[in-house]
Amino acid sequence: MANFTREHKVDTLRVHEGGIINLRIDTLRSGDGMQVIREVVEHNGGVVIAAQSDIHRVMLVKQYRYSIDSELIELPAGRIEAGEDPFLAAKRELREETGFEAQDWRKLSAMFSAPGFCNEVLYLYRARGLSFVGKDLDEDEHTDVLDITCKEAWQLVVDGRIQDAKTIAGVAMLMLENQ
């Protein structure tokens, strides 16, 4: 394994402070004295929920994503509010986007969404023992809920119809669990 040299921060320029992200530009000095610039998106993190009506099924949501001007098929997911516990955020997001609550929760993973420029951590949970209580969407949000087999979800990945990385990871983990 290659050795790496930690870079030390010399200066930070805060470019944007927003409601969802912050952007900073850091000037760093590497161990060999070279000065480098890193642009960093700061994000509170997010949650991803692999909700299952039974062990061979998974709930997905279809929703429009403005940043790519397209509709995506995804696992239910959302952002963690500042200071919010990821597990409580997962429970909130599952209800908001699908209308379901779950009795059985298990944390499957924590992953970085784009560590080359962003510090966002996504917490992936599996939720079972579902009961419908009604959606509680944000006023600017619309989702269509799909309850399909894990094999059908994986086929959507293979066919390129699921292009969202967190969903690909979550569906893959469910497929491995069910082997």
pLDDT of residue 141: 76
For residue 72, the SS3 value is: strand
Torsion of CA 45, 125, 111, 74, to 10 degrees: -80
Q: Does residue 56 surpass a pLDDT of 90?
A: yes
Q: How many Å apart are CA 109 and CA 162, to the nearest integer?
A: 20
pTM: 0.92
- 112: number of CA atoms within 13 Å, CB side? 8
Helix segments in the chain, DSSP class H: 86-98, 150-158, 165-177
Q: Domain 46-177 belongs to what topology?
A: Nucleoside Triphosphate Pyrophosphohydrolase (3.90.79)
φ, ψ for residue 99, nearest 5 deg: 85, 5
Domain boundaries of the chain, sorted by first residue: 8-43, 46-177
pLDDT of residue 1: 63
pLDDT tens digits, one per residue of 35-50: 999 999 999 999 999 9
pLDDT tens digits, one per residue of 124-174: 999 999 999 988 777 777 889 999 999 999 999 999 999 999 999 999 999
CB 124, CB 118: distance < 8 Å: no
38 pairs with which residues across the strands? 26
Q: Does residue 29 surpass a pLDDT of 90?
A: yes
